[in-house]
Amino acid sequence: MKSITKLLFTSFFTTLLVACQSEALFPDTDTSVELIQLSPEVQAIKDDLDLSHFESDPSGIDVDKIVIDWENHISSQKEDGLWYQFPLTTVLPAQLKSDLIVQQDYMLVVAISEDVTEYSLVKLAHLEGSSPTATYLQLGGFHGMTYLYDLNGATRGVAYVENGETHTSITTEHWHHVPMSNCDVHGLADNVRMGTMNHNDLHDQGCDGGGSGWVRVATDHYTDWYNHRGGNTWEYSHTEYTGTTYEYIWVEGGGGQYLNAIYLPDAYSGGTGNDFDLGEFYDWYYNERDEGEPLRIQIDPSLQDTVAGCVLAKLMLGELALYRDTIGSFEDDPSFNLTFTFGECSDGDDACTSAADLSDGNITIKIQNQGLHALEYASLILHEGIHAEIFRAVETYTSELLNPNDWERLGQLYRNYLADNGNNTETTEAQHRFMTERYVIPLAEAIWKLDNKRYPLDDYMKFGWDGLERYGFTGYFHDGVFKRLTREESNEDYHNQDKVLNNTTF
Amino acid sequence: MTVIKKLYTVLFICLISFSIHSCIVQDSEADTESYEILNMLIDKHAKPLLPPPPPLPNTFTYDSVNIKENYYSGHWSSKSDSIIYSNKLDSIKKKNEILSKNIAQIIAIDPYFAVPWLADSNFNFANSPEKQRLYEALKAIQDSIPLRIDRLKITRNDSLTYWSKAQHRRRKGADYVGVDIVASFSRVAFDEKKQKAALVVSFNRSVLAGFSAIYFLEKKDDKWVVIDTKGLWIS
């Protein structure tokens, strides 16, 4: 009995194995290659399609790797003509670093009207809860972003779709009028200036500190290089950064509640919190504010319509202690003027603080690098703001920033490096040493609060270390204890910062 | 007549040759001097970072502080505290000196003698006409010229490379990768005798840690020495 069972069991497995192998080894004889005759309309579309000028930035679609499934199209008669949709079966899209997007699908959409045939490559970026089978012409259940690119690869339009219904959309001509729920939304790609921004257009939507809005998502592209050591041995050499592309997504709700609790300077009647409007702020700043109070913190008009200008406005209206005790202190000191401007430092800098005219009470913070994220601008503005306040404090020997222990340590460091509070190597060494000991955590905390404490404080440490890492590597004293920043900690800080920057709604 | 004509021709050719030669000599001389100035400035400023001095212990009490003048006085609660702290500082100083010699840095040099970054400056060196002339000469420079790092000779055991944003920054907003210091130099303005000079210099340890200044120099005993600086910014 036992041996029969064993035999049956063995036979069963052998049959199963053979069956499986047969399937794997021999092609299905019933399958034959059949050339399907395309309809004349589809054939005409196929013949007319020219993707030779398609640029992969910003879509991330490499047209050389695209296979258009001409046979499995769907069509739909709409008011403006007949629409066709063809799936793209092979694409190698850039991977978005955002963890908001769960699936991306691509298709060719052709709209044929009496006058014109319009081709678009379409990308569907599914957000959580979206139906994975939704397509551009069958949006039922779709939740996410639709991106239309023309045959040159330029963005034709972006829409946010909820349950198959278009919630909000932006088109090319509206790039410069994007409602700004955060300072990172500004024109296309790297452009910092928002061009001909129309304040009236922005009025209703607002450059608000919270609520919903378009968020620019960055995708960093890297190539890993390896050295071939013979055989199958490949040794990692280095990673090369090959560029960043940007796209927009719509985010419901989100950050900025921190800015709802707002410190309002006297005479400011503009919107705050969710009603904050950048245009209204600068109207007030340039046209109304100087009637009531002197502009001791001057913002050059070059910054007005920029991400950095937006960040600065938010900092001015916020209640960050670090801002109040550094840049804010200039409001109360009539002997000093602090000016923010776009300006030239040197090629290796993102921003700098000029105290070349310190004896006359003038300090200028120049912001040089364009194309940073809003939180990075906030970080560098605060970093330079600390320099400005130290310059002012040492001149006047008054500061809300410095307690008696700080004065002692700052004095010791100035003496050690023979600093004279000038724009020179001695002063920069002394100030940066001091900042490394005292302000890494306050800077990180400030950015953490601006980002509405989205992630743990540790994830914001890179913002605190911006510009100070080298000093951290060589060692610093924290609460009297000698410490060193390690390369591993620094690398982790970078990764965390990437995550924060790619998901912030500040 | 023919002889005189020939003589004139020869004289004319000589004159032209001499002018060209002196121009070349002058230019190459300025070129050589520029590199000598850079060598001196790199040696002066591209030193490795070393740990800071330890904070003064609580047993030290300040009587007077003037940070700007680097003046402070105070007293120790006991003489032994003072001796212990002094010994500690001496020991750190010696250790740092040894460390400093053994640290080999990578210094990235901006590949151009740049147009001086003075477009928005308006300084007045009223008490020094010489400086004013050099400053104005600097401001008048409108073009950059290539800088060859193979012509730089530094005394420290550091490596030089050309600065490249694409290569040395992993992304916008990120700090330098693979370099310890980035140095940028403007073209150098000289006086007629090539005995005085000025240029704009910037040294950066990171995208937010550096300084820039106009350097005024003078040749003394065949060596360029800094006689004054005008700071432009720190970052």
Q: List, for residues A23-59, the tens digit of each pLDDT value.
A: 333 333 333 344 567 888 899 999 999 999 888 777 7
Residue A265 has pLDDT above 70, yes or no: no
For residue B209, give the nearest of A376, A414, A470 by CB distance: A470
Interface pTM (ipTM) of the complex? 0.85
pLDDT tier, A435 (very low <50, low <70, confident <90, very high otherwise): very high
In whole angstroms, what is the distance from residue B176 CA to residue A490 CA? 13
**Is the CB of B173 less than 8 angstroms away from the CB of A376?**
yes
**Is the CB of A220 less than 8 angstroms away from the CB of B171?**
yes
Residue of B nearest to A421 (CA): B68
- Other Cβ atoms less than 10 A from the Cβ of A451: the count is 24
DSSP reduced 3-state for B111: strand
pLDDT tier, A160 (very low <50, low <70, confident <90, very high otherwise): confident
Give A339-396 pLDDT, tens digit per residue: 999 888 887 889 999 999 898 999 999 998 667 888 999 999 999 999 999 999 999 9
What would you measure as the largest C-alpha separation in chain A, in angstroms?
A: 107
Chain B residues 64-93 with CB within 8 Å of chain A: 65, 67-68, 70, 72
| Cβ proximity of B231 and B213 under 8 Å | yes
CA quadruple B12, B17, B23, B26: dihedral sign? negative
Q: How many CB pairs under 8 A join A and B?
A: 191
Residue B19 has pLDDT above 60, yes or no: no
Phi then psi for B70, rounded to 5 degrees? Answer: 55, 35
- Alpha helix segments (H runs only) across chain B: 2-45, 79-102, 129-140, 165-168
Residue of A nearest to B52 (CA): A476
**Is the CB of B67 less than 8 angstroms away from the CB of A421?**
yes
**Is the CB of A470 less than 8 angstroms away from the CB of B49?**
yes
In whole angstroms, what is the distance from residue A264 CA to residue A144 CA? 37
For residue A347, give the nearest of B52, B110, B170 by CB distance: B110
For residue A418, give the nearest of B53, B70, B72 by CB distance: B70
pLDDT tier, A251 (very low <50, low <70, confident <90, very high otherwise): low
pLDDT tier, A467 (very low <50, low <70, confident <90, very high otherwise): very high
A440 — contact with chain B (CB < 8 Å)? no
Helices and strands in chain B, H and E counts: 4, 10
**Is the CB of A347 less than 8 angstroms away from the CB of B231?**
no
DSSP reduced 3-state for A180: coil
Q: What local confidence, expressed as pLDDT, does residue A382 receive?
A: 97
Lowest mean pLDDT, pick from A157-171, A230-244, A280-294, A310-324: A230-244
| Cβ proximity of A150 and A156 under 8 Å | yes
Q: What local confidence, expressed as pLDDT, does residue A21 receive?
A: 39
Å from B201 to nearest chain A CA? 9
A321 versus A171: which is more confidently predicted? A321
Å from A469 to nearest chain B CA? 8
Residue A209 has pLDDT above 50, yes or no: no
Chain A residues 393-432 with CB within 8 Å of chain B: 394-395, 397, 407-416, 418-425, 427-428, 431-432
Give B189-200 pLDDT, tens digit per residue: 999 999 999 999
B125 — contact with chain A (CB < 8 Å)? no
**Is the CB of B202 less than 8 angstroms away from the CB of A348?**
yes
Residue A2 has pLDDT above 70, yes or no: no
Q: What local confidence, expressed as pLDDT, does residue A105 receive?
A: 87
Å from B173 to nearest chain A CA? 6
The answer to whether the bond into A294 is cis (omega within 30° of 0) is no
